[in-house]
Amino acid sequence: MRRQVITGGVIVVISVASAAAYNIVQGRWFNAATSRSATQVETSASSKSDGQAEGPRAAAVGAGWPESGGTSEPASSAPQSATVAQAGARPLQAAPQAATPPAAAKPAIACANPNAMGVSRVVEIDTGGGPGFGSQHFKTYDFLRDHEVALTFDDGPWPSNTQAVLKALADQCLRATFFPIGKHATYHPEILKQVAAAGHTIGSHTWSHADLQAVMKKGGQDAAIEEIEKGASAVRMMAGAPTAPFFRFPDLRHPPEMLTYLGGRNIASFSTDIDSFDFKIKKPEELTRSLIGKLNKLGKGIILMHDFQKGTATALPQILGELQKNGFKVVHMVPKGTLSTLPQYDEAVLKENKLPTMSENKPTDSVVRTIGGQ
């Protein structure tokens, strides 16, 4: 094992066993606790060139996280090429949490496409202090290389559309980051569970997709905090799995007070580099042409799409095909730790989501099934 440490600086490079499907490199990552600049830890145990796609064997980390409030250091299995970039290494404002034992390895999700794009890199985000990503609003942390993209989807989960997005991603052995709306998560928890089971990263996108600047003008900071926290609680509860301390503001409107609040909660804020405007562009062909045109001009970026939109769900296979044709590689973003929700907002979601006679929230097909006819 070769290890190189540059003291007195902000970069630490170490060569260790690489990440495998659903697992990230085992061991502790180094933090520059007194610096706001990005700390990078690169791992490679493969003869492949840095960033080269592993095809169907490449999978992102997203499963095997500890329960809410913990930190994770999942175990690795078969060698694979990956790069882990820790961003936002500022002094933590919350009390440090004890490390948990390595999580058990989980099997890769099978991919039948031998020519799949696969995940080129997995980047781990240190959300301490609430860093911001996406050049439209935040320009501090630019971790993507030329011809790299990170796929993100907002406003789900939603019937048919989210499942179509999941299928398109699975067909290309890709992993993305989802920012669900809290209410939508309570409407369709079974779909959100499918997102989690497929190994995607799950952040949050408020309780009701309210414009937080308008919420603050009407109800003050407490009302805006409630939108953020109830959304996070609902997504965590409905996913039935650990979620990421990743947040995206509705309409990308960022009240400074809420950015400060998220920083205190160690939650990263995500803007975008390329907005697909898929809520306006409804025709799949036009959406694909517009998005690829923007991407070819910029050369890389975090892409904002919506799994709520039918046009996006229809266009995604074509979009992914054009990404591959134009030489783009997909990077999967995962968190260093998991989101800790707040009990009072967990309780608020439960009260709002349940009638007194309801015992639990089960998938419809486990409660109602066809026993006759077609």
Tens of pLDDT, residue by residue over 272-324, are 999 999 999 999 999 999 999 999 999 999 999 999 999 999 999 999 999 99
pLDDT of the residue at 85: 43
pLDDT of the residue at 245: 98
pLDDT of the residue at 267: 98
Least confident of 30-34, 119-123, 219-223: 30-34
Contact 291, 319 (CB under 8 A): yes
Q: Quick count: other Cβ atoms within 10 Å of Cβ 213?
A: 18
Q: Tell which phi-psi region holds residue 105, choosing left (phi > 0), alpha (psi between -120 and 50) or beta.
A: beta
User: Residues 332-343: what's their mean pLDDT?
Assistant: 97
Rounded Cα distance, 95 and 239, in Å = 26
The residue among 53 and 166 whose pLDDT is bigger is: 166
For the stretch 225-261, pLDDT in tens is 999 999 999 999 999 999 999 999 999 999 999 999 9
For the stretch 48-76, pLDDT in tens is 333 333 333 333 333 333 333 333 333 33
Residues counted in the chain = 374
Ramachandran angles phi, psi of 238, nearest 5°: -75, -30
- Is residue 329 scored above 90 in pLDDT? yes
Residue 134 CB contacts under 8 Å (≥ 6 apart), including other chains = 270, 271, 272, 273, 302
pLDDT of the residue at 368: 77
- Which one, of 133, 143, 126, 37, lies nearest residue 336 by Cα? 126
Contact 126, 89 (CB under 8 A): yes
Cis amide prior to 157 (ω within 30 degrees): yes
Which is it for strands 177-179 and 329-335: parallel, antiparallel or unpaired? unpaired
pLDDT of the residue at 370: 65
pLDDT of the residue at 367: 67
pLDDT of the residue at 80: 33
pLDDT of the residue at 72: 33
Contact 116, 171 (CB under 8 A): yes
- Is residue 25 scored above 70 in pLDDT? no
- Is residue 47 scored above 50 in pLDDT? no
For the stretch 343-356, pLDDT in tens is 999 999 999 877 44
User: Residues 81-87: what's their mean pLDDT?
Assistant: 39
pLDDT of the residue at 178: 98
Among residues of the chain, what percentage have pLDDT more than 90? 63
Q: Quick count: other Cβ atoms within 10 Å of Cβ 340?
A: 18
- Is residue 213 scored above 90 in pLDDT? yes
- Is residue 139 scored above 60 in pLDDT? yes
- Is residue 7 scored above 70 in pLDDT? no
Mean pLDDT of the chain: 77
User: Residues 21-28: what's their mean pLDDT?
Assistant: 32
pLDDT of the residue at 363: 65
pLDDT of the residue at 76: 32
pLDDT of the residue at 106: 38
Contact 288, 320 (CB under 8 A): no
